[in-house]
Amino acid sequence: MKPDRRKTLQSVNESGGLFAIWNHPNAHQITYFGLHALQHRGQTSVGLVSYDDGEFHGLHGNGLLTQVFNRPEKLERLIGRHAIGQVRSATQADREDNTNIQPLVFHFSNQTMVITHNGNITNGLTLREQLEAEGAVLSSNSAAELLIHLMRRKPAEDFEAAFKASLRELRGGFNFCLLTESGLYGAVDRNSFRPLVLGQMANGSYLLASETCALHTIGAKFVTEIFAGQYVVINDEGYRIGVYVEDTQITIEPMEYIYFARPDSDIAGVNVHSARKEMGRRLALEQPAPTADLVIGVPNSSLSAASGYAEASGLPYEIGLIKHQYVGRTFIQPTQELREQGVRSKLSVVVNLVRDKSVVLVDDSIVRGTTIRRLAQLLKESGAREIHLRIASPPLRFPNFYGIDVSHTSEMIAANYTVKELNELFGSDSLGYLSVQGLIDSVGLPIENETGGLSLDAFTGAYPADIADCRESLEASLTPLQEKIRKGASCDE
């Protein structure tokens, strides 16, 4: 079967961590440690480009930051007072093609532009086809390159105007960082799905980062978040925040709080660990487990919620699941035959803890359901008397175009089964999710509207932003359960 050309050309959902700094004597080192703090946002490739008096120096590679920069010389070469970088999660196909590793560098006769982004431009394919019809040659299917094309087709005299006008043509969720010889630019989509923060070093240098945890790591001060529809210009005169579109609506991606961001980061002023612990507390109230003996969290992202559940319920919090610390990228997995013999890797149960006990197992969320089903089974085999699954987020039922990378709706187990059905599937004694309102209240953003400043699309199927080219395939693949939810039915019993 021939592959779908449209699919090949569609701009990818770029998931990553961005960092950039202007005018610091150790720009390359600061950027290295900034990216290091953001490594959880992307583990498959790394790029770092510095600018030094007329010349750009870069290194791009596949793997973790520590693997790509495996010798100090590799970093020391990237001299200059300005630097920009990205850590990124790529798809398999992409991984074999080094040309997409960001930041992308574009040399022109009159300037150079170094760009990196995350997110998903939902009208990317439409824009691409328009550009190609005018003779444009796109060397990648990266949204970052799209922006460059849009900018280069506008009058060159006013760079900032071209930047703003081009941003306005984009739909979807995104963060951009763009380094040129004369300044560093940042921009956030009109819903501010993902965070982008401005920080300042002790010496006065300004920087951009995807999360505040990067600021702590490099000893920088938090200045402000870049909010929906805003852009920022950083140059030798300082920084200036502007607005490229008025029609905005803050709907932060809740998976940042639930799973993606690091616990020591704050998003829109709310600390991630604290939000998670509160989700756990709230979950204990909404979904108690009166017969339980102890609470266990799935390491590492669910430990905050589990400790919250334990405190609110008065049950002991136990470290009952051990994550193998040195797993690395495992090239060898147990065969089916070995799995049947009981061979496992990755997670182990503290058998003595759970034997003959009624266990609350807290997980942050369920996507495909594979892990939670396996864990429930593992606990049963280890002698647990009862297993009460408690999920510190609402059921994930609709694709999320800027968030979790799920290519087909059918992969999301809660798009296909009711909660009751899931409980049976998992073999658990009870299954309880946090309610949507519980999520909104736990995060507690100071935004008074019905979504509480969160994007609820993955739970409700109501999309706050224009999903443009993506709508067609969404509609074509709705499951019966999704149809029911959209018509207002509840499937949470």
Interactions with its own copies, residue window 72-131 (CB under 8 A): 72, 75, 96-99, 104, 106-110, 128-129
Kindly identify the residues of this chain, within the stretch 6-25, that bind its own copies according to CB under 8 A. 6, 8-9
Residues 285-304, one symbol each (x = binds its own copies by CB under 8 A, - = not), give ---------------x--xx
* Contact call for residue 62 and its own copies (CB under 8 A): no
301 is in an annotated binding site: yes
Contact region with its own copies (CB under 8 A), list: 142-150, 229-237, 426-434, 445-453: 142-150
Compare residues 64 and 252 and give the one whose CB is closer to its own copies: 64
Q: Select the residue interacting with its own copies from 335, 410, 449, 477 (CB under 8 A).
A: 335
CB of 248 to its own copies, least distance (A): 26
CA-nearest of 404, 477, 153 to 255 is 404
Q: Smallest gap, in angstroms, from Cβ of residue 234 to its own copies?
A: 19
Contact pick of 264, 286, 411, 421 for its own copies (by CB under 8 A)? 264
- Size of the residue set binding its own copies (CB under 8 A): 112
Does 449 engage in binding with its own copies (CB under 8 A)?
no
Residue corresponding to tokens 């059918």: 410
356 labeled part of a ligand binding site = no
Does the footprint of its own copies cover residue 410 (CB under 8 A)? no
User: SS in 3 state form for the chain?
Assistant: CCCCHHHHHCCCCEEEEEEEEECCCCHHHHHHHHHHHCHHHCCCEEEEEEEECCEEEEEEEECCHHHHCCCHHHHHCCCCCEEEEEEEECCHHHHCCHHHCCCEEEECCCCEEEEEEEEEECCHHHHHHHHHHCCCCCCCCCHHHHHHHHHHCCCCCCHHHHHHHHHHCCCEEEEEEEEECCCEEEEECCCCCCCCEEEECCCCCEEEECCHHHHHHHCCEEEEECCCCEEEEEECCEEEEEECCCCCCCCECCHHHHHHCCCCCEECCEEHHHHHHHHHHHHHHHCCCCCCCEEEECCCCCHHHHHHHHHHHCCCEECCEEECCCCCCCCCCCCHHHHHCCCCCCEEECHHHHCCCEEEEEECCCCCCHHHHHHHHHHHHCCCCEEEEEECCCCCCCCCCCCCCCCCHHHCHHHCCCHHHHHHHHCCCEEEECCHHHHHHHHCCCCCCCCCCECCHHHHCCCCCCCHHHHHHHHHCCCHHHHHHHCCCCCCC
Q: Does 139 bind its own copies (CB under 8 A)?
A: yes
Q: Minimum CB separation from its own copies for residue 323, in Å? A: 9
Least distance between its own copies and beta carbon 85 (Å): 13
364 is in an annotated binding site: yes
Interaction between residue 316 and its own copies (CB under 8 A): yes
Q: Is 39 in the site for its own copies (CB under 8 A)?
A: yes
Q: State the nearest-atom distance from the C-beta of 130 to its own copies, in Å.
A: 10
Q: Which of 161, 243, 285, 338 binds its own copies (CB under 8 A)?
A: 338
Q: Is 273 in the site for its own copies (CB under 8 A)?
A: yes
337 burial (CB, 10 Å; 0-12 / 13-18 / 19+) is exposed
d(CA 275, CA 266): 10
What does each C-alpha distance from 383 to 54, 315, 376, 380 come to in angstroms?
66, 19, 11, 5
Which residue from 115, 167, 349, 379 is in contact with its own copies, where contact means CB under 8 A? 349
If one asks whether residue 274 binds its own copies (CB under 8 A), the answer comes out as yes
Query: Please, what is the minimum distance in Å from the beta carbon of residue 114 to its own copies?
Result: 13
* Cα–Cα nearest to 117, from 15, 241, 267: 15
What is the smallest separation between the CB atom of 381 and its own copies, expressed in angstroms?
9
Name the residue nearer to its own copies (CB basis): 149 or 373: 149
Binders in 200-259 for its own copies, by CB under 8 A: 201-203, 213, 216-220
Options 290, 328, 446, 480; binder of its own copies; rule CB under 8 A: 328
Question: Does residue 69 bind its own copies (CB under 8 A)?
Answer: yes
Q: Which of 263, 369, 444, 464 binds its own copies (CB under 8 A)?
A: 263
Contact 100, 142 (CB under 8 A): yes
Pick the stretch among 140-148, 368-376, 400-408, 441-449 that binds its own copies (CB under 8 A).
140-148
What's the min distance (Å) between Cβ of 326 and its own copies?
4
Among 12, 30, 115, 255, binds its own copies (CB under 8 A): 30
The structure tokens listed for 149 are 């094309």
- Between 25 and 242, whose beta carbon lies closer to its own copies? 25
CB of 252 to its own copies, least distance (A): 17
69-77, 360-368, 470-478, 484-492 -> range binding its own copies (CB under 8 A): 69-77
Which residues are known binding-site members? 301, 363-364
Q: Which residues are annotated as a binding site for Mg(2+)?
A: 301, 363-364
